[in-house]
Structure 1
Amino acid sequence: MTNLQLDTLTDNALSLWRAHGRETPLSGVFVACSEQPKGPVHSVYQPSLCAVLQGEKVSRVGVRTYRYDAGKCLITSLEVPVRAEITSATEKQPYVALVVNIDPAVVAELLLEYMCTQDESETASEALCVHPLSDDLVDPLNRLLELASRPVDIPVLAPMINRELIWQLLKGPQRHMLRQVGLTDGKLARIGKSIAWVRENFTQPLSVPHLATLAGMSTATFHRQFKAATAMTPMQFQKSLRLQEARRLLLSESADVAQVGFAIGYESPSQFSREYRRMFGTPPGRDGNKMRSSIMLESQI
């Protein structure tokens, strides 16, 4: 990829940001821009391609760290809770990134129609990986962004370009990981089934044997494969989801710390406060006040 290609893609992304902000007219396509370092921000990444066009970002999943700067992309294959920071951004050189969601159904469709999957290795088990942004991805990404100025073309051409992007990913260095997402019997796809259950039922008591059954694995194998994919145990994964939801609830002016803890599945307010502080660095009540004050300040700028 040449500097000119990257500059063109960056300009297109910035034009979208100025016109629409994070949300673009293109379904499943988002733009991020920041003139200063930010974070840490806790969120749940969806299966997606995140291309950094300017600046640098660090994403952490469990004990793993993924660092990616201009010209590199982060591929996410499963829904995972992430702690992310923008580490390089200035007013003259803002952080600019482009995110395109990946539809596992399209991955499966392309595999079934055009690719032989029987001989594919299952060596790739991590949910995230970082790779250089290749020419095969830059061209369709530019064409996708340019569609935003032609609304009449979006319903017809955007799905075709998204499909092309996924096709190129399936042929690239991250192909083993993505192919596992599309294969219903693949390790990552089976771990994904258990993750979906935890996401929908994170306030409920967690049973690892039940999750293993959902994934079609023995308990020991499931525990090993889950940690290989997410860098967390199932209990740590659930805790991360619970505490992120708690932080969202604390933005409410009327939120009571103990009530929030009970709402996300904690029986002990002291345990909730202790684990919240360990994750976010501040007790829940103080953190809620700080977040609300920050939002009020931003609204006045």
Structure 2
Amino acid sequence: MTRLESPLDHAESGLPGLSALIARHAPNAGDFATRLPALSVHRRTSPTDPMPCIYGLGLGVVAQGSKQVMQQEAVLHYRAGQGMLTSIDQPVVSHVSVASVAKPFLGLMLALDPSQVMRTVSDLQLPPPPKDSTHQALVIAELDAEVVRALERLLKLLDEPALFDHLAPLVVQEIIVRLLVGRHGVALRHLVAAGSPMQQIAKVVAWLKQNLAQPMRIDDLAERVHMSPSTFRQHFRTLTGVSPLQFHKQLRLQEARQLMLNQHLDAGQAAGRVGYESASQFSREYSRAFGAPPQRDVRRMRQQG
């Protein structure tokens, strides 16, 4: 595996102000939704097992501790004080690598609305990304101080319910602006650059997510973005790290897992909902992806909270 980032010696030093706010809204180990649907906060009190998942468009932040993200052959270390921007859905395997009861892992995730990003780029009249810049779909970089302050203000607003609905959208807009003009800006601008491969593949990914149960035909997907099938495959793999078929399979399995966890469907019901015609094929592919058959995996997930 290629090592792209290394945790620094001060990986556990963190961002004290942001850490305290996250800890307040994540009082024990687990994942916590907030009043803002796009914002969630997370605490872990020990390192976790590697877990396959798909990161969508958004900003992940580690305020204390660190994580490891495996993206195909690359291993990325993602530590306190850094932000991870995902500009197009990425299948990864991630886990918390530094956490303890005394000094838990503390992080947050802010999902971004692509239409809002696009409008902001237009309003700011930002230039298109340089032609020689690479289309990085996942970028880990130091957080700008002003982004951290804006995130702190967003979390503080959770304690002001009378003002939250009026002010939170303004703070989210500020965060998007600061991301666009900061270290993460080029990756976001690739997403909205008219006709760019990232924008075209993002359209296909959005369609796949909305039509999971539909059969996937490469020729039809390529036609949607006016590419030849071979060019489409090449761009898709470059940006997501996997083939369209593998990506579609991972989307289906992740959605089936959430249906079993959150809606208490059994394996057969979940498999049918996401388009599997064979229960045995679903079970085999699920076990290969998550390391255990559906029922055992869901039971393990519930036991872990």
TM superposition score category, shorter chain reference: 0.7 to 0.9
Q: Where in structure 2 are the equivalents of 1:65-76 lying within 5 Å?
A: 65-76=75-86
Q: Where in structure 2 are the equivalents of 1:196-235 lying within 5 Å?
A: 196-235=206-245
* Residues 1:24 and 2:31 aligned together: no
Counterpart code for 2:298 = M
- Deviation at residue 261 of structure 1 after TM alignment: 4.2
Q: Is the 8 A contact 1:48 1:75 kept in 2?
A: yes
- Deviation at residue 228 of structure 1 after TM alignment: 1.0
Q: Is the 8 A contact 2:290 2:297 kept in 1?
A: no
Aligned to 2:115: 105
User: Number of residue pairs matched?
Assistant: 292
- Per-residue deviation, residues 149-182 of structure 1 (Å, max 9, x unmatched): 1222222221111111111111122212101223
SS at match of 1:199: helix
**Compared with structure 1, are the counterparts of its residues 212 and 18 closer, same or farther at alpha carbon in structure 2 (3 Å cutoff)?**
same
CA distance in 2 between counterparts of 1:163 and 1:118 reads 20
Aligned to 1:11: 20
Q: Which moved more, 1:200-209 or 1:227-236?
A: 200-209
**Compared with structure 1, are the counterparts of its residues 194 and 256 closer, same or farther at alpha carbon in structure 2 (3 Å cutoff)?**
closer
Identical aligned residues as a percent: 32
CA distance in 1 between counterparts of 2:95 and 2:45 reads 13
SS at match of 1:98: strand
**Compared with structure 1, are the counterparts of its residues 298 and 88 closer, same or farther at alpha carbon in structure 2 (3 Å cutoff)?**
closer
**Of the candidates 278, 281, 289, which is equivalent to residue 296 of structure 2?**
289
**Compared with structure 1, are the counterparts of its residues 223 and 21 closer, same or farther at alpha carbon in structure 2 (3 Å cutoff)?**
closer
Give the TM-score normalised by structure 2.
Answer: 0.85
**Compared with structure 1, are the counterparts of its residues 23 and 249 closer, same or farther at alpha carbon in structure 2 (3 Å cutoff)?**
closer
SS at match of 2:134: coil
- Deviation at residue 298 of structure 1 after TM alignment: 6.2
Please report the RMSD computed on the Cα atoms of aligned residues, expressed in angstroms: 2.7
Aligned to 2:266: 255
- Deviation at residue 38 of structure 1 after TM alignment: 1.9
**Compared with structure 1, are the counterparts of its residues 294 and 9 closer, same or farther at alpha carbon in structure 2 (3 Å cutoff)?**
closer
Q: Where in structure 2 are the equivalents of 1:160-179 lying within 5 Å?
A: 160-179=170-189
- Deviation at residue 263 of structure 1 after TM alignment: 4.5
- Deviation at residue 75 of structure 1 after TM alignment: 0.5
Counterpart code for 1:14 = A
**Compared with structure 1, are the counterparts of its residues 278 and 97 closer, same or farther at alpha carbon in structure 2 (3 Å cutoff)?**
same
- Per-residue deviation, residues 98-130 of structure 1 (Å, max 9, x unmatched): 111212222211211222434643733232111
Q: Is the 8 A contact 2:208 2:248 kept in 1?
A: yes
- Deviation at residue 53 of structure 1 after TM alignment: 0.7
Counterpart code for 2:299 = R
CA distance in 2 between counterparts of 1:250 and 1:151 reads 32
**Structure 1 stretches of 4+ moved >4 Å:** 249-254, 259-263, 267-270
CA distance in 2 between counterparts of 1:39 and 1:213 reads 40
Q: Is the 8 A contact 1:122 1:187 kept in 2?
A: no
SS at match of 1:124: coil
Q: Which moved more, 1:61-70 or 1:9-18?
A: 61-70
**Compared with structure 1, are the counterparts of its residues 270 and 15 closer, same or farther at alpha carbon in structure 2 (3 Å cutoff)?**
closer
SS at match of 2:36: coil
Q: Which runs of 5+ in 1 are unaligned?
A: none
Aligned to 2:192: 182
